Amino acid sequence: MAGHPVRAPRLANDDFAQILTGASQRILYDSVAGHWKLVIEATMFVTYAVVDVWSGFKQGGNDPVGQYTSQTGCDPAAKLTVESI
């Protein structure tokens, strides 16, 4: 589709120096619940166990861009924002 910008979601104000080594960021759409879910996980170096660093959701819409509210994880941030680049 020539002339149409490609929108790639990413965390707004993310600082790569603060992202954990081996951390993985995923954005999923839960069609049953009708919301977007942002999951940030990290792998432990010794045990190789996957740890939930931050998980949150954004209600509805057809675009993952917006503010996500924390559900679980060990990071105390209450909200994270995903923007389009």
For residue 1, pLDDT over 60 is answered with: no
Entry pTM: 0.73
Percentage of the chain modeled with pLDDT above 70 = 73
pLDDT at position 6 is: 43
Q: Share the mean pLDDT of the chain.
A: 79
Residue among 15, 2, 6 at smallest CA distance from 80: 15
Residues 27/41, Cβ–Cβ less than 8 Å: no
pLDDT at position 23 is: 73
Domains in the chain: boundaries: 9-84
| Beta-carbon contacts of residue 17 (< 8 Å; ≥ 6 apart) | none
Is pLDDT larger for residue 3 or for residue 61? Answer: 61
pLDDT per position as a tens digit, 63-79: 899 999 999 988 888 88
Q: What is the DSSP code (8-state) at residue 64?
A: -
